[in-house]
Amino acid sequence: MTPRLAPPDPPASPASRADLLAFLDALGIAHRTVDHPPVFTVAEGDAIKADMPGGHTKNLFLKDKKGALILISALQSTTIDLKSLHHRLDCARLSFGKPELMHEALGVTPGSVTAFAIVNDPARLVRFILDAALMNHELVNFHPLKNDATTAVSSSDLLSFVRALGREPEIFDFSA
């Protein structure tokens, strides 16, 4: 029986796009990246998404009233009711995290928030939640730490990425 190898070490924070893609390669995760002009909203990326199969995302960086940080990666069409979400997540009331806090915690700036940013949170201070509807897609698409490109990976490989960072994926059904 072949011994199981330990996953490679993640890149030092803050990781660059090249660091992230090299880490995906080291994990054996197939990926495809498409460069495009920077996009800052879900709507701005509609033309780009037309040529990329899979689930397209919206990513929310949130802070609760007690200081807990949460990153939600959801299917772009998923409705997320921030007014009541704290009850379902068993946390204090939620608001959007400030850009400075986002950069400090995840190494990214507004418009570039992405599931891949958890690579920049080795202490796992940010709670990471994946939308169940997103995970129903074979391919999922995220910015590779900057909003001037989109990278597609399989949803199962996204889970492998999360686990390689020492996290157990938290998949949440926002439609329930």
**Has residue 114 been placed in a domain?**
yes
- Omega before 8 within 30 of 0, i.e. cis: no
> Which residue carries 């796992």 as its tokens?
124
Q: Please tell me the distance from the alpha carbon of residue 123 to that of residue 87, in angstroms, as a whole number.
A: 25
pLDDT of residue 51: 76
pLDDT of 105 over the 70 cut? yes
Residue 145 carries which side chain, given as an amino acid letter? L
Q: What is the pLDDT of residue 7?
A: 76
Distance CA 6, CA 133 (A): 30
CATH number of the structural domain spanning residue 80: 3.90.960.10
**Who contacts 105 (Cβ-Cβ below 8 Å, separation ≥6)?**
61, 69, 97, 120, 121, 125, 126
pLDDT digits (tens, 9 = 90+) for 144-172: 999 999 999 999 999 999 999 999 999 99
Please list, in sequence order, all residues whose beta carbon lies within 8 angstroms of the beta carbon of residue 55, skipping any fewer than 6 positions away: 75, 76, 133, 134, 136, 137, 139, 140, 141, 155
Q: Quick one: average pLDDT of 12-16?
A: 92
Q: Is residue 9 part of a domain?
A: no
**CA 105 – CA 107 distance, rounded (Å):** 6
Residue 123: which region, alpha, beta or left (left: phi > 0; alpha: psi -120 to 50)?
alpha
pTM of the model: 0.92
As a whole number of angstroms, the distance between CA 48 and CA 52 comes to 7
* pLDDT over threshold 60, residue 128: yes
* Number of domains forming the structure of the chain: 1
Range of the domain at 26: 17-41+52-172
Q: Please give the pLDDT value at position 4.
A: 58
Q: What is the percent of the chain where pLDDT is above 90?
A: 82
Q: Is residue 29 part of a domain?
A: yes
Q: Look at residue 148 and tell me if it is in a domain.
A: yes
* 125 belongs to a structural domain: yes
